[in-house]
Amino acid sequence: MGKYNLNINGKQQTVDCDADMPLLWILREKLGITGTKFGCGIAMCGACTVHLNGQPTRSCQLPVFQIGKSTITTIEGIAPSENKLHPVQEAWQAHQVPQCGYCQSGQIMTAVAFLKNNPKPKMEEISAAMSGNLCRCGTYDRINQAVKHASDLLTK
């Protein structure tokens, strides 16, 4: 066990845990930040995607000792304020994307990071960028439409 200082959604948090504890479980079980989901546990499905210094990262495979001073952003940390959604979430709402919604935190985190690097993507680029996040409900088409819509919202 050891003490780790983590910067999560702009807030400094101290956790006491094993060095190999993955960020996913620190968020969910040590800090009660449960919007990030456990899917496969082997970095294949993308349900646990968060941002590490703005880059999409599979938190189920990120042990706490590797995090250091990197800043962590989760689905709870992307909206500009309590009452306002991130433009990607707005697009998700407009397109009524989720069915069960279990994978959608990860989908949204991947989309937010992608649009920062590629603000005006073509549909094929969206499809490719989102292809690593699995959705058992099969909402892929709505996801792609919503990313396109979010790109318009962010660049207007």
Q: How far is CA 35 from CA 59, 108, 109, 118, in A?
A: 12, 11, 11, 25
For residues 111 and 7, what is the distance between their CA atoms, to the nearest angstrom?
A: 22
Vertex 47 angle, CA 127 and 51, to 5°: 85
For residues 75 and 49, what is the distance between their CA atoms, to the nearest angstrom?
A: 9
Site mask for another protein (CB under 8 A), range 79-118, x = bound? x-----x---x--xx--xxxxxxx-xx--x----------
63 binds another protein (CB under 8 A): no
Choose, by CB under 8 A, the member of 37, 73, 87, 130 that binds another protein: 37
User: 35: how many CB neighbours lie within 10 A of its CB?
Assistant: 16
| Rounded least distance, CB 30 to another protein, Å | 9
148 binds another protein (CB under 8 A): no
15 binds another protein (CB under 8 A): no
| Rounded least distance, CB 155 to another protein, Å | 21
Contacts with another protein by CB under 8 A lie at 1, 18, 20-22, 25, 28-29, 34-38, 41, 44, 74-76, 79, 85, 89, 92-93, 96-102, 104-105, 108, 137
